[in-house]
Amino acid sequence: MLPSYSISELKLGNTVFHDVRFNWFCLERTCPVGCFDELIANYGRLEEKQRLLMEAETNRCMLADEVEDLRWYLRHRYGLDVVVEAMSIPIEKRRHLIGEDPNERHELL
């Protein structure tokens, strides 16, 4: 599982924002990325709400082959590179990949 992002410029109207971080994730995964017991620390002891949040966030992370496909596409289409962050397994806390920072802007392309 690989949290991934790109850094680029973003133009909105006449305004250009420099060094914008674009986080990449899988939003509609149909199968789990792996065994949650192995991927999430203390999985069996989590309350249901926390367990479901951790499962959803874990499934948003990209797998190595997905990152390589994204990297190829972004490089050839937009000239962007993809940076991959190391992630320790098992995951001990949520990384808040989407939707909880009020300063973040999300648009699904």
Q: How confident is the model at residue 102 (pLDDT cuts 50, 70, 90)?
A: very low
pLDDT of 100 > 60? The answer is no
Looking at residues 28-40, what average pLDDT do you find?
91
- Residue 53, SS3? helix
- For 10-38, the DSSP string reads EEETTEEEEEEEEEE--SS-SS-SS-HHH
Question: In residues, how long is the chain?
Answer: 109
Looking at residues 37-58, what average pLDDT do you find?
92
